[in-house]
Amino acid sequence: MRRAIFPGSFDPFTLGHYDVISRGIPLFDEVVVAIGVNGSKKYMFTLEERKRFIEEAFADEPKIKVVTYSGLTVDFCKEINANFILRGLRNPADFEFEKAIAHTNRKLSSIETVFLLTASSTSFISSSIVRDVIRNNGDYTILVPDTVRVK
Half-sphere exposure in the Cβ direction for 138 (13 Å, CA): 12
Active site residue 17: yes
Q: Give 72-126 as a DSSP string.
A: -HHHHHHHHT--EEEEEE-SHHHHHHHHHHHHHHHHHSSPEEEEEEPPTTTTT--
The Cα 147–Cα 87 span in angstroms is 22
The Cα 96–Cα 70 span in angstroms is 24
The Cα 135–Cα 16 span in angstroms is 20
Catalytic residue among 40, 41, 42, 107: 41
Active site residue 127: yes
The Cα 83–Cα 114 span in angstroms is 10
Q: Report the predicted TM-score, pTM, of the whole model to 2 decimal places.
A: 0.94
Which tens digits make up the pLDDT trace of 42-100?
A: 999 999 999 999 999 999 999 999 999 999 999 999 999 999 999 999 989 889 999 99
Catalytic residue among 17, 50, 51, 87: 17
Reported as a pLDDT band with limits 50, 70 and 90, residue 7 is very high
Instruction: Give the pLDDT of residue 41.
Output: 84
Catalytic residue among 52, 78, 127, 149: 127
Active site residue 41: yes
The Cα 143–Cα 129 span in angstroms is 9
Which tens digits make up the pLDDT trace of 20-44?
A: 999 999 999 999 999 999 877 899 9
Active site residue 126: no
